[in-house]
């Protein structure tokens, strides 16, 4: 059984998560609070297997709370669940000790996967934040969730359109005035986002699916 403590300043979200896991045989929400200070107290009292925390909260934010929790109880795993997808926010949570990071709009199924993964001592990232962050900070030994709704950046959509037009990475770099290595990186990220296996599949996806830009 994975015991979970949750900190979130929007009570409706807490209620929704609790309701979903109410009859789950593997995940048990043993306590919820609305700020980081109360989270620290709750975790010290009940010592759950996993903590789910927002970043921005009153009194004490999730970054500071995570830092305190990991210092006193390093065996407690922390999963950030937030609306912040900026690399700086992600890095601060990782530096504080979190090993999972998902967005609030990821969906309950992804949350379930993240809980199990992080509670097991592994790292989990929401696909819609991982690809903007992974090149510098995330290695290959992490789990990246799969979302039914894939979010491509504006630049990725531009590159995908050029791929559909039959252009090579070099030609795309010249058209968009960016480095060829940047185009190659975007190609790699799109392959992972779209759950494809190769560059050829990416080309086929762009052409056969008639991607709408």
What domains does the chain contain, in order, with CATH numbers? 2-144 (3.40.50.2300), 154-208 (1.10.10.10)
pLDDT tens column, 94-142: 999 999 999 888 888 889 989 999 999 988 888 777 555 554 444 444 5
**Bigger pLDDT: 60 vs 128:** 60
pLDDT at 47 over 90: yes
- Long-range contacts, stretch 146-154, CB < 8 angstroms, 24+ apart: 146/195, 147/106, 147/107, 147/110, 148/107, 150/193, 150/194, 151/193, 152/190, 152/193
- The reported pLDDT for the residue numbered 109 is 84
- The reported pLDDT for the residue numbered 81 is 95
Q: Which of 25, 119, 129, 38 is nearest to 82 (CA)?
A: 129
Among 16-25, 88-97, 115-124, 188-197, the minimum mean pLDDT is found in 188-197
| Two structure tokens written together for 9 | 């300043």
Task: Tally Cβ neighbours within 10 Å of residue 177.
Answer: 6
- The reported pLDDT for the residue numbered 49 is 97
- The reported pLDDT for the residue numbered 130 is 57
pLDDT tens column, 161-187: 899 888 999 999 999 999 999 999 989
pLDDT tens column, 61-89: 999 999 999 999 999 999 999 988 888 88
* pTM of the entire predicted model: 0.65
Confidence of residue 191 (pLDDT cuts 50, 70, 90): confident
- Mean pLDDT, residues 23-32: 94
The SS3 call for residue 165 is coil
- Terminus-to-terminus CA distance in the chain, angstroms? 45
CA pair distance 131, 197, nearest whole angstrom: 16
């Amino acid at each position: 059984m994975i015991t979970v403590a949750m900190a979130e300043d929007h009570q409706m979200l807490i209620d929704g998560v609790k309701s979903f896991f109410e009859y789950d045989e593997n995940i048990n929400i043993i306590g919820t609070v609305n700020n980081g200070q109360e989270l620290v107290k709750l975790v010290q009292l009940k010592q759950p297997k996993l903590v789910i925390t927002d970043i921005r909260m009153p009194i004490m934010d999730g970054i500071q709370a995570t830092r305190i929790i990991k210092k006193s109880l390093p065996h407690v795993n922390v999963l950030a669940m937030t609306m912040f997808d900026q690399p700086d926010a992600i890095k601060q949570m990782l530096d504080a000790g979190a090993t999972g990071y998902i967005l609030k709009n990821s969906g309950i199924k992804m949350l379930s996967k993240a809980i199990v993964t992080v509670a097991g001592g592994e790292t989990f990232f929401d696909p819609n934040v991982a690809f903007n962050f992974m090149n510098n900070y995330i290695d290959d030994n992490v789990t990246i969730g799969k979302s039914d709704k894939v979010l491509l950046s504006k630049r990725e959509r531009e590159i995908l359109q050029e791929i559909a037009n039959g252009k090579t990475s070099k030609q795309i770099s010249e058209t968009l005035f960016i480095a060829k290595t940047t185009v190659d990186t975007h190609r790699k990220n799109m392959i992972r986002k779209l759950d494809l296996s190769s560059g050829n599949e990416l080309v086929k996806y762009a052409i056969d699916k008639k991607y709408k830009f």
